[in-house]
Amino acid sequence: MDLPEGLDWVRASPAGRGWLAALPTWLTECAERWSLRVGPPFRQAYASLALPAHLADGTAAVLKLQYPDEESRHEADALTHWDGDAAIRLLAHDPGRRALLLERCQPGTPLHDLPPDRALDVVIGLLPRLWRPAGAPFTPLAQEAAGWIDRMPQAWERAGRPYERRLLDAALDLLTGLASSQGEQVLVNQDLHAGNILAADALAADRGPWLAIDPKPLTGERAFSVVPMVRGPELGHSPAAVRHRLDRLSTELGLERERVRGWTIGHTLAWSLADDTVFPEKIEVVRWLLDTD
């Protein structure tokens, strides 16, 4: 199977190699089960194998085989909860194979192709439609934050202390205070960056023209939901760009700026290390936001 280069990291672990070994069989079985004609994988893949497909009646779709990580475990549940409002629609789901059959965004242009402020206009209109009350089976943000707090010091040590201790201490303090003092709980997405919102002009006009894809859902306060957009490099990676997104999104969505800032620092540092990989651009964002005042 011709895998996208973005999935090369999967080969580093026994679990990843087992998943890769199962993919050809699962792909064949899903194509047969749902009567699909499947094309070559999309190349911009980092956490799943996604392929363009057509249903028996010619309808364009996407077959997605997820890597079995915890963050995306309830993706299908989130898409079902939104039911196509501001998000891509789930057509079918095979939990055993972590396979999702999704409608296809067409033309599928990513949000970061727009000028940055026009992209933020889209986000400001889209996010309130995704803020729906939710409970089980989604993991509460407070529970997830407790896991970050527990794992971050050990991950920092194992990685050779790749950033200053002050960053770690600040992130732990912020996460502890924020997790226990949240506002109303709604469905939030840990990974709603500007590459995970696609143009969908060909879908129903009342749902588009932009839809969210690839959610990593939790239940938490609204201030957390803009974190991926604030830190994401897709709309510019500089102190000024990050602070501009923080200010605009907080103000125009009616969110408390310091809570957005705190969640961004905590979550971004928690995601700055993955096994033996260090993501220096995330560490830069934490420094910029800690030094913003």
Enter the tokens of residue 226: 């803009």
Are residues 100 and 66 in contact, defined by beta-carbon separation less than 8 angstroms?
yes
Cα separation of the two ends of the chain: 50
189: CB partners within 8 A, 6+ apart = 78, 130, 212, 215, 216, 217, 218, 225, 228
pTM for this model (two decimals): 0.94
**Catalytic positions:** 191
Percent of the chain with pLDDT over 90: 83
Dihedral of the alpha carbons of 267, 189, 118, 265, in degrees to the nearest 10:
-10
The full 3-state SS of the chain, as one line of letters, equals CCCCHHHHHHHHCHHHHHHHHHHHHHHHHHHHHCCCEECCCCCCCCCEEEEEEECCCCCEEEEEEECCCCCCCCHHHHHHHHCCCCECCEEEEEHHHCEEEEECCCCCCEHHHCCHHHHHHHHHHHHHHHCCCCCCCCCEHHHHHHHHHHHHHHHHHHCCCCCCHHHHHHHHHHHHHHHCCCCCCEEEECCCCCCCEEECCCCCCCCCCEEECCCCEEEECHHHHHHHHHHCHHHCCCHHHHHHHHHHHHHHCCCCHHHHHHHHHHHHHHCCEECCEECHHHHHHHHHHHCCC
Note the pLDDT of residue 11. 85
Question: If pLDDT is split at 50, 70 and 90, which confidence band does 204 have?
Answer: low
Q: Which residue has the tokens 């009616």?
A: 254
- Answer whether residue 45 shows pLDDT above 90: no
Query: How confident is the model over 236-251, as a mean pLDDT?
Result: 98
- pLDDT tens digit sequence for 148-167: 999 999 999 999 999 999 99
- Answer whether residue 77 shows pLDDT above 70: yes
63: CB partners within 8 A, 6+ apart = 27, 30, 31, 34, 36, 38, 50, 51, 53, 99, 100, 101, 102
Note the pLDDT of residue 206. 67
Among the residue ranges 26-35, 64-73, 121-130, the one predicted with the least confidence is 64-73
Question: If pLDDT is split at 50, 70 and 90, which confidence band does 5 have?
Answer: confident
Query: How confident is the model over 238-251, as a mean pLDDT?
Result: 98
φ/ψ region of 277 (left if φ > 0, alpha if ψ in -120 to 50, else beta) reads: beta
**How much is the mean pLDDT over the chain?**
94
- Answer whether residue 293 shows pLDDT above 60: no
Query: How confident is the model over 182-206, as a mean pLDDT?
Result: 89
Q: Which residue has the tokens 């990843």?
A: 16
